[in-house]
Structure 1
Amino acid sequence: MSDWREDTVDSIRSLILGVDDGIVEERKWKKPSNPDGVPTFSCDGLICTLETYKDKVKVTFAKGASLPDPTNVFNASLDAGTRRAVDIKQTDTLNPNAFAALVEAAVALNRS
């Protein structure tokens, strides 16, 4: 992967890791079709996963349904019971402050 998705993943990774010094990135769920695995971010529990698809980058928040989202950053998995996701396509612009606020809220929820 050496295209817009790589830049998007790098930007999102930086946003996530910049929220709290306690956030840890790991790669999980390695399989033949995805030998690098899925980047996961945790701080006192899972915060989110970061997956790359052909047409988008998807950030899935494990407890997204419990997070405040006043600026409507979540745009996928809106009917899921617990999780919520953000799908970012090549022409989309992610609000970095609103996204970081979701990560902060996820960390606070995990710590509560």
Structure 2
Amino acid sequence: MKNNELPQDQSASALIDARIEELGDWRGEMLARLRALIKEADPNVIEEWKWRGVPVWSHNGIICTGETYKSVVKMTFAKGASLPDPAGLFNSSLEGNTRRAIDFAEGAQIDEKALKELVRAAALLNGTKAKK
């Protein structure tokens, strides 16, 4: 699996499984945990694989992505600037008008309840915009 290119005949879920296994360190564990929380928050979420190797979770539009870097796993919410964030989870990409992100470093604690609420709010926002 070179240059983030994976066989196109695999399902997005299988490609995400492969990415988690390929990472083989705390980033894979973090991505797997975030993925599980997204699915718990929205059982109807659709997993996608875009932009040559980025896991994407959608429901009536993109909810968030799960990018992995050397020092963080970045969870970017496509419409994060429009979401309530009472727990203050967003800590990255704060300057834009649309996206917001959460950077998880090694050993970071996840506020699971707040994160699930954020995922549900994103799905609800997408559903509201889809009906218009």
Shared fold (TM-score, shorter chain, > 0.5) = yes
Residue aligning to 2:28: 6
Partner of residue 78 from structure 2, selected from 39, 42, 62:
62
Residue aligning to 2:69: 53
User: What amino acid is aligned across from residue 25 of structure 1 in structure 2?
Assistant: E
Q: Note the 1:91-106 alignment, pairs <5 A.
A: 91-106=107-122
1: CA distance, partners of 2:74 / 2:89: 12
**Superposition deviation, residue 18 in structure 1:** 1.3
1: CA distance, partners of 2:66 / 2:98: 17
Q: Note the 1:26-37 alignment, pairs <5 A.
A: 26-30=48-52, 37=53
Q: Larger helix proportion, structure 1 or 2?
A: 2
Percent identity for Structure 1 against Structure 2: 49
Residue aligning to 1:34: none
Residue aligning to 2:19: none
Question: Is 2:71 the counterpart of 1:18?
Answer: no
2: CA distance, partners of 1:89 / 1:19: 22
Q: Which runs of 5+ in 1 are unaligned?
A: 31-36
2: CA distance, partners of 1:110 / 1:47: 8
When the two structures are superposed, what TM-score results if normalisation uses the length of structure 2? Answer: 0.78
**Superposition deviation, residue 21 in structure 1:** 2.3
**Superposition deviation, residue 17 in structure 1:** 1.2
Give 4+ residue runs of structure 1 displaced > 4 Å after superposition. Answer: none
**Superposition deviation, residue 91 in structure 1:** 2.6
Question: Is 2:123 the counterpart of 1:107?
Answer: yes
2: CA distance, partners of 1:40 / 1:98: 20
User: What amino acid is aligned across from residue 21 of structure 1 in structure 2?
Assistant: P
Q: Which runs of 5+ in 2 are unaligned?
A: 1-22
**Superposition deviation, residue 59 in structure 1:** 0.3
- Give SS of 1:6's match: helix
2: CA distance, partners of 1:69 / 1:94: 14
Question: Is 2:60 the counterpart of 1:38?
Answer: no
